Structure 1
Amino acid sequence: MEWNEKLQMILDYVENHLQRKQEPIDPKEVSQIAGCSFGFFQKVFSYMNDISFSEYIRFRKLTLAGYDLKSTEKKVIDISYQYGYDSPTSFTKAFQQFHGITPKEAREKDVKLRVVPKMQVSIRQQYSWRLEQKPAFRLVGKSIICSAGEQHQKIPEFWSDCQKNGFFSQLVSIDKGAPKGLFGLFHSEKSRVDKLQYSIMVMTDEDVLNVDCEMWIPEALWAVFDCRGPVPEAIQNGWKYLQQEWIMKYPFQHADCPELEWYSDGNSFDEQYLSQIWIPVIDEEK
């Protein structure tokens, strides 16, 4: 399930608890729906919506309280407790800060109250993404060294060479991933800061001949971005999107392991071919 689908489920959960069940929002239930800790979910929510989760809930409570005052005969004290306030005094203060008038004035006068509508999430995005917790895994493969700026030419040539000399087929035959697919990843060349090391690798537990690179990827939480279309254009456009938009507002700490590209088992020239970018992130609550 993609992140936006989970977010819509959480927004529906909030409305159900505020309007139907009239119960407090349970952070444990929100965490279970989101698939990550409540603290981490709050970071993602704020990043995506430019408003904190707690503030959104407070605004929705005060919006609904305004509806109740104008359309029912409920007492102010009952409305205050219904929406989780400790006393009518604290409710009145919050209501006045939000609406600009007291609950009594809202009921007695013909005034318009502030409304923050239920948030709706657009499921369709140019790049859908989700959070996935993955166990540790082993990668093996081959690498090349290229200068910064050469990667857009050198890396496609490297993939083509691996297909021609049979190494690509060798990796595919030992693929233990679920689903199957090959990985591409960058490393820093330790001896030369102006050089990049790029590897084509596969997830496996088998011993492989003719490999010059082996790596254990630790258990981690990943932000996984789907890229659709022929490669290398689709994956290059995905990185461009991340660098220009997503990472500019990056709300997470980067985990201590490399970023990965993943290429699915299929026709890489197809318009619906799936490749992915995996960004390792830290869930600080775990």
Structure 2
Amino acid sequence: MIASLNRLVDLVEDRLDEDLDVARLAAALGTTEYHLRRLFSSLAGMPLSEYVRRRRMTVAAAEVVGGSGDLLGIGVRYGYRSAEAFGRAFRAVHGVSPGQARRDGGPLRTQPRLRFRLTVEGAAPMDVRLVTRPAFRLVGHAARVPLVHEGVNAAIQQHVASLPREEHARLKALGDAEPAGLLAVSADLDPDRREGTELTYLHGVVVSDEVEVPDDLDVLPVPAGSWAVFRAEGTYPETLQHVWAATATEWFPSNPWRLRPGPEVVAVLDRADDFSTATVELWLPVEPA
């Protein structure tokens, strides 16, 4: 996977002046757009689309400052149809207009070309198992919330806290399949996993086809497939967020599996009364790479 990401960076560099067909590039690299975008975002710390934008503006800035051609022509070459659109994009990255940069030579904020390397950590072995599950249903209470990479997600916290205590017990009694217990489900995630983009969060359980679901609950059907299940314990939610990051930096690059579209499910197996610490399982939908 590391080699594929580096090849992607090379292909991006070759196509800075044209629209990037990520699906076609992913197919050429023997993977999927979904997996490629997720892994790139996790490892690079920015979405693929943002990296492309920054690299375009870095190369465009060199042409602007170098005085090679009129500003509109440079903007058009890098995909902008007007001087205003190019100016807005240029200022968003560099903090100055193209005209100011040409006159003053900067300041400029350049994005270096990325290079991915696999770092062997080995200090903390990952507790993971692979599970194949038939189709199942996730049922519970859903809400649209923003994606937060670090720390407590206030919108999720508020959503769960708004449910009456007896509702948690009702949901738990309704669940009859694995993953067991009350679940935190994230679905409809942005392919680039950009901070602040909206996702569907469901607080609920897994039920089999035999269970009659009450009309007041939301239902999320999940097709059959394989899952990588990562178990961890420690401070919450930091430990869970660190485990997700480690799947991208350690597990996927060294195992013949890739992410497939589907919800990400967190099962809380045990927790402190104040939820400061917890033992959790992170279920990620996967397929052979």
* TM-score range relative to shorter protein: 0.3 to 0.5
Report the TM-score when normalising by structure 2: 0.46
User: What TM-score, normalized by structure 1, do the two folds share?
Assistant: 0.46
